[in-house]
Amino acid sequence: MEQASDAVVATRAALAQLMALAVQYSFSIIGALILITIGWIASGMLSRWAFNGMSRIHGIDATLAHFFSKVVRYGVLILVFVMALGQFGVQTASILAALGAIGLAVGLALQGTLQNIAAGIMLLVLRPFRVGETIETSSVNGTVIEVGLFATELRTAEGVYRLAPNSTLWNVPITNFSRLKTRRHEVTISIDAGECIDKAQQKLLATATAEKHVLNNPAPTTYVAEFDSGSAKVTLRYWMNASQWWETSRHVTKAVKLAFDKQPEPEKKPAAKPETAPESLFPDLQSPTG
């Protein structure tokens, strides 16, 4: 009987403890669910607010706006998760320290990737090149297809796809052939010492002026680049729209070559022999005399 009564007492005590725990943690569970729900809604609202706000800033790329909006969203969710664990008596300081250690380890492991992300953010903010522009560096060249956070997609002049990590495009000199509206080109020819330099310059200017895509402002110019005892080099300098540089420069170069090609001299026909009286068929026959 005593054992049975002890068992009943122990059971009642355990049930009482379970009830107390259920009452205590029910409030914690409800509070955690409320925190998670509010945090989820707030993270979405803040993410949209961050995206819309950054999209209104001139020069901010849509990719960069999406990236920062995602950072805001997941940052709020992590904070809400830590606060929810605090409702159950978990020491949040130790969790934050663990998250910091994990972030440091991940950062060291993904050092190259994070470097590409940092370079991608700087490229999207400073915009040294945009989609559709043709660029060249010491290791990369081509037309930009897309600028991402990790890498930039390009298409070479040969029609080859190229993916360049952003770190290879940052902290290096970049030549952008499409950023400025106009572009210059030069053609240099050699003339013999006996030829007239003024006539050569006039012919060069006439050739450039005849090309419809050559700009009049600034006007084409010519100058003597160098000379020696045997010949001189004359340079034609002219401007055109950057989008028409390749086609126009090839046309003008060809036109200059044709303009200075020496025309073949016309063939001289042999001089006609003078007509002579036909010889007499009877040379011994003398004309009668009176």
Decide if 93 contacts 87 (C-beta within 8 A).
no
The share of the chain scoring above pLDDT 90, in percent, equals: 31
Please, what is the average pLDDT of the chain?
80
Tell whether the model's pLDDT for residue 40 goes beyond 90: no
Residue 282: pLDDT band with limits 50, 70, 90? very low
CATH number for the region 127-176 comes to 2.30.30.60
- pLDDT top residue among 200 and 27: 200
pLDDT at 186: 94
Alpha carbon of 266 to those of 158, 258, 260, 262, 269: distances in Å?
45, 18, 18, 12, 9
Q: What is the mean pLDDT of residues 229-250?
A: 91
Domains 8-109 and 127-176 share a fold: no
Residues 279, 290: Cα–Cα separation, whole Å: 23
**Sheet-wide strand order for 151-155:** 161-165, 151-155, 141-147, 134-136, 175-176
pLDDT at 195: 82
Alpha carbon of 180 to those of 135, 176, 215: distances in Å?
12, 8, 15
Q: Please report, for the chain, the start and end positions of each structural domain, with discontinuous segments joined by +.
A: 8-109, 127-176, 182-260
Q: Which of 209, 221, 156 is nearest to 184 (CA)?
A: 221
pLDDT at 69: 82
**Interstrand relation of 134-136 and 141-147 (parallel, antiparallel or unpaired):** antiparallel
User: How do residues 43-52 score in pLDDT, each as one tens digit?
Assistant: 888 888 888 8
Question: Which residues, other chains included, contact 156 with Cβ-Cβ below 8 Å and sequence gap of 6+?
Answer: 141, 142, 143, 162
DSSP 235: E
Range 8-109: architecture per CATH: Orthogonal Bundle (1.10)
User: How do residues 133-179 score in pLDDT, each as one tens digit?
Assistant: 999 998 899 999 988 888 899 999 899 999 999 989 988 999 999 99
User: How do residues 88-109 score in pLDDT, each as one tens digit?
Assistant: 666 667 666 776 777 767 666 5
pLDDT at 59: 62
Q: What is the mean pLDDT of residues 256-283?
A: 62
pLDDT at 108: 62
Tell whether the model's pLDDT for residue 55 goes beyond 80: no
CATH number for the region 182-260 comes to 3.30.70.100
